Each structure stands twice: as C-alpha cells, then as structure tokens.
Amino acid sequence: MRKLLIATLLLSSGVFAEDLPKEMYMPNDAEGFVVLTVEPCKFPQADKLGYHYRAYATEVSGAVTIQHEGCWDSPDTKDAPRIQGIKIIPLVNTWWEGGDIATFQQSQFSPEKKRWDTKPLEIPVKPNV
C-alpha cells in the first residue's frame, strides 16, 4: 500500500505514471471487491476529513453488480511512536457515501483482482474402532 501512496505522489508529478497500479483490490464477503484508486475523492465532506482518494466497493447479487462510492487515505507511520513489543500495522481508512467508515490492513490489498481462498480446511477423521 505504501507503493500506492508513492504512486499517487508520482502520478501527480507525472513521473513513471504508466508503470504504477491505478487500482488496488481487496476481495469482500459480497463476492466483489473494495477498490482503492489514485483518483481524487468525489465527496468534499470526505476530503475535508482527510480521505483524499476515490474508493469504491462492488457486490454481486445474482447477475447484477452493485457499486458503492467512497474515499480513502492511509496514515503515514514513519512518525508513529515506537513502543517496545508493539508492532505498527499500516492501515487504510475508508469513508463511504452515507458516512460509514471502515479500516483495513494495507497488506490485504493487491494490484491484482483475486479472491481469497476461503475453502474450508479438510481434516481427515479416523473412526474410533
């Protein structure tokens, strides 16, 4: 995700823009994705709250795909206080149309659209004989 933030800065200056991902994807439980883009946030109220980039989420309902609009930002962790025994986890904060907010780990996003493997773990069971 740090790469996406760097990408945003580079895109604004026009440097290597063709080599950087324009979107990052995280699968959701609605058979769709939460998508972070490098486009500016469309909602002035969210931009004022610090969510500067466009996000959207998709959900699949039968043959219909529904899209929800929002915005995102990721706080810089370089100035976060270092505390022994505490790991700093880079986060993505999202704001959704209607005012809902959600936070995700940066590591959950990928430049490739791929589903998580949600297949249940198969544990062989031996009969008690």
The mean pLDDT value of the chain amounts to: 83
Beta strands in 62-116 (DSSP E): 64-73, 91-96, 101-105
- Per-residue pLDDT, 102: 96
- Residue ranges covered by each domain of the chain: 2-77+89-108
pLDDT (tens digit, 9 = 90+) per residue, 86-129? 888 899 999 999 999 999 999 999 999 887 665 555 666 666 65
pLDDT bin (cut points 50, 70, 90) of residue 1 is very low
Beta bridge partners of 66: 59
Residues in the chain: 129
- Per-residue pLDDT, 78: 87
